């Protein structure tokens, strides 16, 4: 079963796409401090220098803008590169699914329709997200489709009844990551997903230790940090063990295990790795680096909406730079 659209292959060589992306990369926001200190938060986006971001007026616009760019890149790729990047794009579209389910539950149709328009999800999945009678029916439809990918997706309906949308979002993401790491992928894509798993495992460990949650987290396999290593830190109960893991495996040094420092450092680690891989003149590295930079920009812009009433220094600390 198809999970993403299949536009016609225009046969563009990867060199053509990389040359186009070089120009588009220059339009990404680099100087966040100037944006934040230049005036009222988000109003500065109306400036001509932010042409790519000028249409953003709401949190929904942030993600719509991101997926519009993803859709453009996907459409410019030849079939060979679409196959390589399919795991990345489908992983990204899990966010679309989760946003649509949340809006469906809250009866917010407008934002869902806008996001669906730029989504790369297959027509079957779009139909489920736009025509299901309620959230329960949508979850049942998603379970039917994703179970064709892996039987581990079965049981989404029961999980929704027990844990709500939060449980669905976690199951979809974790199961997809586990499935992807067991499948055949391009080496760089596999290394990327391994780092995503590291980040999710460390955050699960951190929340468990910081909030003193009695139920231990379930760590995903196939990250660069072994499950045994994570469990050892969990047994120690030492929150500062998180900083050691981040320094040793992520390559980022932080002094205190503060929530913002931990989360931002994990994203910074992935960013540094992909920036290094993106310096290769051709191939998968520059493309993956660009797509990741777009996602980080969207994450930062989303943070600006959430923190528009905060002190500027507090906002700066939350951004991945």
Long-range contacts of 273-280 (CB under 8 A, 24+ apart): 273/191, 273/192, 273/195, 274/192, 277/188
User: CA-CA distance, 247 to 254, in Å (whole number)?
Assistant: 7
Task: Look at the alpha carbons of 307, 313, 314, 320 in this order and tell me if their dihedral is positive or negative.
Answer: positive
Query: Do residues 21 and 287 make contact, with C-beta atoms less than 8 angstroms apart?
Result: yes
Tally of CA atoms within 13 A in the half-sphere of 9 that contains its CB: 9
Query: Do residues 45 and 36 make contact, with C-beta atoms less than 8 angstroms apart?
Result: no
Q: Token digits for 1?
A: 């079963």
Nearest to 5, CA basis, from 117, 155, 139, 144: 117
pLDDT of residue 61: 86
User: CA-CA distance, 47 to 246, in Å (whole number)?
Assistant: 37
pLDDT of residue 200: 96
Give SS3 for 216. coil
Residues (pLDDT < 70) of the chain are 1, 40-42, 46-48, 108-111
Ordered alpha helix ranges (H), the chain = 14-25, 32-37, 59-76, 79-105, 109-118, 123-131, 135-146, 156-182, 187-211, 227-236, 241-245, 259-277, 284-306, 312-318
Nearest to 66, CA basis, from 263, 232, 295: 295
164 conformational bin, left if phi > 0, alpha if psi -120 to 50, beta if neither: left
User: CA-CA distance, 240 to 245, in Å (whole number)?
Assistant: 9
pLDDT of residue 310: 81
The DSSP output letter for 108 is -
The DSSP output letter for 3 is -
Give the pLDDT confidence of 280-298 residue by residue, as tens digits: 877 899 999 999 999 999 9
Would you call 291 exposed, middle or buried from its count of C-beta atoms within 10 A (0-12, 13-18, 19+)? buried
Give the pLDDT confidence of 45-71 residue by residue, as tens digits: 766 677 777 778 788 888 989 999 999
Distances (CA, A) of 273 to 9, 69, 173, 180: 30, 22, 22, 20
Distances (CA, A) of 176 to 63, 168, 169, 241: 21, 12, 11, 28
User: CA-CA distance, 225 to 195, in Å (whole number)?
Assistant: 9
Q: pTM of the entire structure?
A: 0.93
The DSSP output letter for 220 is P
pLDDT of residue 166: 93
pLDDT of residue 53: 79
Name residue, tokens 């949308």. 165
pLDDT of residue 111: 62
Give the pLDDT confidence of 160-175 residue by residue, as tens digits: 999 999 999 999 999 9
């Amino acid at each position: 079963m198809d999970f993403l659209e299949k536009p016609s292959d225009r046969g563009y060589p990867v060199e053509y796409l990389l040359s186009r992306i070089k120009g588009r990369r220059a339009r990404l926001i680099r100087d966040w401090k100037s944006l934040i200190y230049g005036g009222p938060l988000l109003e500065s986006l109306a400036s001509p220098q932010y042409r790519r971001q000028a249409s953003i007026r709401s949190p929904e616009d942030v993600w719509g803008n991101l997926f519009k760019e993803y859709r453009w890149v996907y459409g410019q790729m030849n079939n060979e590169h679409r196959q390589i990047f399919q795991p990345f794009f489908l992983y990204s579209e899990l966010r679309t699914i989760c946003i649509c389910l949340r809006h469906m539950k809250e009866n917010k149709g407008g934002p869902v329709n806008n996001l669906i328009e730029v989504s790369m999800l297959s027509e079957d999945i779009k139909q489920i997200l736009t025509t299901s009678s309620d959230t329960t029916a949508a979850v049942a439809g998603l379970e039917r489709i994703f179970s064709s990918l892996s039987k581990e997706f079965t049981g989404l309906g029961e999980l929704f009844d027990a844990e709500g949308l939060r449980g669905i979002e976690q199951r979809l993401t974790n199961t997809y990551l586990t499935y992807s790491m067991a499948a055949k992928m391009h080496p760089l894509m596999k290394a990327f997903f391994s780092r995503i798993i590291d980040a999710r495992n460390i955050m699960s460990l951190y929340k468990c230790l910081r909030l003193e949650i009695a139920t231990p987290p379930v760590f995903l396999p196939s990250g660069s940090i072994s499950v045994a290593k994570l469990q050892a830190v969990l047994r120690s109960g030492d929150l500062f063990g998180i900083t050691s893991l981040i320094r040793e495996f992520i390559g980022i040094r932080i002094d205190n295990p503060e929530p913002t420092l931990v989360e931002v450092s994990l994203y910074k680690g992935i960013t540094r790795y992909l920036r290094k891989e993106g310096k290769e003149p051709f191939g998968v590295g520059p493309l993956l680096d660009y797509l990741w930079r777009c996602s980080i920009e969207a994450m930062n812009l989303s943070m600006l909406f959430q923190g528009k009433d905060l002190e500027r220094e507090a906002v700066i600390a939350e951004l991945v730079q």
